[in-house]
Homo-oligomer: A and B are copies of this chain.
Amino acid sequence: MNGGGQPASKQSMRRHNLALVLRQVAAGGSASRAAVAARVGLTKATVSSLVEELRLAGLVVEHVPENQGRVGRPGGALALNPQGAAGVGVEVNVDYTAVCVTDLTGAPRVRLTERAGNRSRDAAETLHSAGRLAARAITAARRAGLSPVQVTLGVPGLVHDDKVLHAPNLDWRHVPAADLLGRGLGRQRPPVSVDNEANLAAIGEFQARPAGAGASFLYISGEIGIGAGLMVDGTLFRGGGFAGEIGHVTVTPDGPECGCGARGCLERYAGQDALLEAAELDTVSATRLGSAPAPVPAAATRPGATRRQAVQEAPADAGAPVERLAALAADGDEAAVRALAVAGRALGVALSGAVNLLDPPEVVIGGIYARLAPWLVPSLQVQLHERVTSGRWRSDRLQVSGLGTEAAVLGAAGAGVQAILRDPSAYIDVTGPAV
């Protein structure tokens, strides 16, 4: 929008006001042009011409009452166009690949998931196959009348300039991920960008928040690694580009060695592998170590149910090892319960430090922690109450994500959509009118 260093001009006013009007429409309530004008403090004539631009670009639809002519459109209800531009999210994680397409309203329209041993394949193979999965999703989305405009890839690692510098749990170093995914996508593909998985999960969590919920929170994503995303007034804080590595915050300076080379990192207490090991479970099969293989439980419950869902494959059992751990804990298994309490305590030590340093209004735990919350949260809360200064911690500042492990792929799909909502003029100026 109108940044601090640029002079205000007519061009930047149009840009600013287009975004302002589109945000009002996105905020919902089926407002008319007149209602939008009243809310944003611009004249009806100005708003009408801005709405017309947005409508012609296919971003906004106007539902004109039946008993009314098309001239003037004084009372039509405005809404985001659910058949227009769409964002494509791809998540490559250690043991699964997921793809999601969302429309302008943020509703997921296509979802595909593939269980895959991405840790044991090389990066090119993994990304080529993820690209092919995404191509299938794009084809399905186009058949449903959508126009995918952007592919966003999420990976659990450090990302710079659409390349993955290091993803320790995938064993990737210096991988040109956008290029490799693009080869799997084939022709007529939208542009690809790459981001850290926890960053995208924080964005996904933000997009899924109900209207009126806070726009500033610290999100913690539990997977094999642990990432964090600090959301400040709806914008992700990225520091120098590599913020969010809470998995390598020290919990015990002389604790067990971590894959990163340091000692006592949070990941060694509360990462998925550490949790399974502490619960005496195999990290791949989740069978109890030293015993006969246990039956794999039924497919995980998948939170974050969708509206307007068009295409969905049966979910892969991506969460299976975690489901097994949760089932054991629910049965009162001593090792499982103890492992989760230890992880909760370590999370509490790391999170209280983050709260003391940053004072986020809320802390949201997601990824596998959403499923495991019943056994993690008690010891986590004890640490927060004990360690956050001056007794300022209140239990209700801790929230459990409703999206679980889906947050990253939803956030990735939403990223392309959000870019349009933030600056519709850039989209309009490139694509021209849709009609």
Indicate which residue in B244, B261, B359, B389 contacts A241 across the interface (CB closer than 8 Å).
Answer: B359
| Stretch of A91-99, A110-118, A319-327, A345-353 contacting B (4+ beta carbons < 8 Å) | A345-353
> Could you tell me if A357 and B252 are in contact, using CB atoms closer than 8 angstroms?
no
Of residues 195 through 248 on chain A, the ones whose CB sits less than 8 Å from some CB of chain B are 216, 228, 230, 232, 237-246, 248
List the number of copies, as a whole number: 2
A354 interface residue (CB < 8 Å to B): yes
- Tell which of A1, A237, A241, A357 has the most Cβ of chain B within 10 Å: A357
Q: Which of A238-276 contact B (CB under 8 A)?
A: 238-246, 248-253, 260-262, 265
Q: In the bound complex, how far is the Cα of B15 from the Cα of A4, in angstroms?
A: 11
A390: chain B residues at CB < 8 Å are: 158, 165-166, 168, 242, 260
| From B8, B165, B230, B361, contact of A17 by CB (8 A) | B8
- A16 near B: Cβ within 8 Å? yes
Indicate whether A176 reaches chain B with its CB closer than 8 angstroms: no
A311 to chain B, nearest CB (A): 35
Residues on A facing B (Cβ under 8 Å): 1-2, 4-8, 12-13, 16-17, 19-20, 40-42, 158, 165-166, 168, 216, 228, 230, 232, 237-246, 248-253, 260-262, 265, 345, 349-350, 352-354, 356-361, 386-392
Excluding A239-B361, A358-B358, 10 further A-B contacts by CB distance (< 8 Å) are A6-B41, A7-B17, A158-B389, A165-B390, A237-B237, A242-B390, A246-B357, A248-B387, A249-B356, A250-B353
Q: List 23 A-B contacts (CB under 8 A).
A: A1-B4, A2-B8, A4-B20, A6-B41, A7-B40, A8-B12, A158-B389, A228-B357, A230-B358, A232-B237, A238-B359, A244-B359, A246-B356, A248-B356, A248-B388, A249-B353, A249-B356, A250-B352, A250-B353, A253-B349, A260-B390, A265-B387, A350-B353
